[in-house]
């Protein structure tokens, strides 16, 4: 575990507020960290947990190097537990909630503050939420829950009302670029990196995933063939997501491909409206000028396909639809 992973850059305001919470000993039973995926919510939750147990706090915050901090950073501290929805489930399973509740009620061997970090709090269904409510409302005195969610609108109201909400904002592009400076798997060219940073929308985690999934390369391959043979271009997309370990990760990869294609279309629109000062996204798109109506229509189709990926749409059909929607 590197220091950078334990201490994500940015979010100084949130970190400052959490320090204040610790200093004034006003930690409540449940916090809900809300913000886009991959921007550092879980890392900061671990830092928060460490700050409450740290043997040698620095200015009221975790030192990052004592035995407590190191065990927490490595994910092996028995008092700091992380839970998440299994990748192959669409909702947070009620059985997992029962395990959490059961573990919360058990007496602990090591004294001190316990923290349970529960990701995917926006994926609870009524059954799992109901199983959780009583413990979330009145956790044992030594236990704090930190729930993580990306979509506030999808958090069940009874969960939301029992938590104090902490909002995380996307990071600035400059900071994301700096964080990712030494990462492997990203394009070497600064222009290509800048493209991905813009599409990552302030999320270093999302940038990392796009690099690992080689999304830019996929889009380049797609654009090479879509005009001549849209179904071959579709096959390119299908092949690119086959590396995903499960259906959910294949969908996640395809969402990023659509995000990059949508960004390219928006840039084409801006350039067709003489808005070149808005920094065109990419030189990879060499299309001729399109009518704005055609571009808008394609953009709507891509948005629609991206949202349909949240349901159980067939991936091959989705890739065909992307290729057919592309304005050639
Ligand atoms: Zn420490």
Expressed in angstroms and rounded, the spacing between residue 19 Cα and the centre of ligand 1 is: 14
CA of 140 to the centre of ligand 1 (A): 24
Q: Which residue in 90, 75, 83 sits closest to 132, CA to CA?
A: 83
Cα(57) to ligand 1 centroid in Å equals 6
What are the residues facing 34 on neighbouring strands?
A: 149, 167
Nearest to 257 by CA among 304, 294, 289, 220: 220
CA of 94 from ligand 1 middle (Å) equals 34
* 180: nearest Cα among 208, 212, 199, 201: 208
**Mean pLDDT along residues 144-168:** 95
- pLDDT at position 4: 42
Sequence-distant (6+) residues with CB within 8 A of 4 are 179
Query: Residue 214 is encoded by which pair of tokens?
Result: 């080689």
| Cα 185 to ligand 1 centroid, rounded to whole Å | 32
Q: Range with the lowest mean pLDDT among 119-128, 253-262, 282-291? A: 282-291
Give the residue-averaged pLDDT of 106-112: 83
Strand-pairing partners, residue 115, are: 80, 144
- The contacts of residue 18 (CB under 8 Å, 6+ apart) are 44, 48, 51, 166
The gap from C-alpha 229 to its chain's centroid, in whole angstroms, comes to: 34
Task: Decide if pLDDT at 280 tops 60.
Answer: no
Ligand 1 centre to CA of 172 (Å) is 29
Distance 62 CA to ligand 1 centre (A): 5
CA of 50 to the centre of ligand 1 (A): 7
Confidence of residue 274 (pLDDT cuts 50, 70, 90): low
Q: How far is the CA of 241 from the centre of ligand 1 (A)?
A: 41
What was the pLDDT predicted at 275? Answer: 55
- 75, pLDDT greater than 70: yes
pLDDT at position 276 over 70: no
Q: Distance (Å, rounded) from C-alpha 104 to C-alpha 274? A: 59
| Distance (Å) from CA 37 to ligand 1 centroid | 26
- Around 321, how many Cα atoms within 13 Å sit in the side-chain half-sphere? 18
Residue 81 C-alpha to ligand 1 middle, in angstroms? Answer: 17
CA of 70 to the centre of ligand 1 (A): 7
- Secondary structure element (H or E) that encloses residue 126, with its range: helix 126-137
Ligand 1 centroid–CA 61 distance in Å is 8
What number is the average pLDDT over the span 273-287?
49
The domain defined by 3-167 carries CATH number 3.40.50.300: yes
Q: Which pLDDT band holds residue 268 (cuts at 50, 70, 90)?
A: confident
Compute the distance from residue 227 Cα to the ligand 1 centre, in Å: 57
pTM: 0.84
Inter-CA distances, 107 with 53, 72, 200, Å? 17, 19, 42
Compute, in angstroms, the gap from residue 34 CA to the centroid of ligand 1. Answer: 26
The 10s digit of each residue's pLDDT in 235-266 is: 999 998 887 677 778 888 899 999 999 988 88
**C-alpha pair distances (Å), 54 with each of 51, 73, 112:** 5, 12, 10
């Amino acid at each position: 575990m590197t220091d950078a992973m334990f201490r994500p850059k940015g979010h100084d305001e949130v970190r400052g507020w959490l320090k204040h919470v610790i200093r004034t000993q006003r930690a409540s039973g449940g916090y809900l960290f809300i913000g886009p995926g991959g921007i550092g919510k879980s890392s900061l939750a671990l830092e928060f947990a460490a700050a409450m147990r740290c043997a040698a706090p620095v200015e009221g915050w975790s030192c990052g190097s004592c035995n407590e901090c190191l065990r927490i950073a490595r994910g092996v501290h028995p008092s700091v537990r992380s839970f998440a929805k299994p990748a192959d489930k669409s909702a947070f399973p009620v059985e997992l909630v029962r395990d959490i509740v059961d573990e919360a009620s058990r007496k602990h061997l090591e004294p001190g503050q316990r923290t349970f970090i529960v990701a995917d709090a926006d994926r609870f269904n009524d059954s799992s939420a109901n199983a959780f409510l009583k413990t979330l409302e009145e956790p044992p005195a030594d236990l704090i829950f930190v729930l993580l969610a990306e979509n506030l609108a999808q958090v069940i109201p009874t969960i939301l009302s029992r938590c104090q909400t902490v909002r995380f904002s996307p990071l600035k592009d400059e900071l994301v670029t700096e964080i990712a400076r030494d990462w492997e798997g990203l394009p070497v060219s600064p222009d290509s990196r800048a493209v991905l940073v813009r599409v990552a929308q302030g999320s270093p985690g999302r940038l990392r995933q796009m690099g690992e999934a080689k999304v830019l390369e996929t889009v380049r391959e797609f654009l090479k063939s879509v005009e001549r043979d849209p179904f071959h271009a579709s096959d390119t997309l299908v092949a690119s997501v086959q590396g995903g370990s499960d259906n959910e990760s294949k969908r996640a990869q395809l969402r990023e491909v659509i995000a990059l294609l949508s960004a390219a279309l928006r840039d084409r629109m801006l350039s067709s409206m003489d808005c070149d000062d808005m920094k065109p996204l990419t030189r990879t798109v060499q299309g001729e000028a399109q009518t704005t109506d055609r571009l808008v229509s394609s953009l709507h189709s891509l948005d629609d396909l991206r949202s349909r990926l949240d349901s159980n749409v067939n991936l091959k059909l989705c890739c065909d639809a992307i290729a057919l929607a592309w304005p050639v």
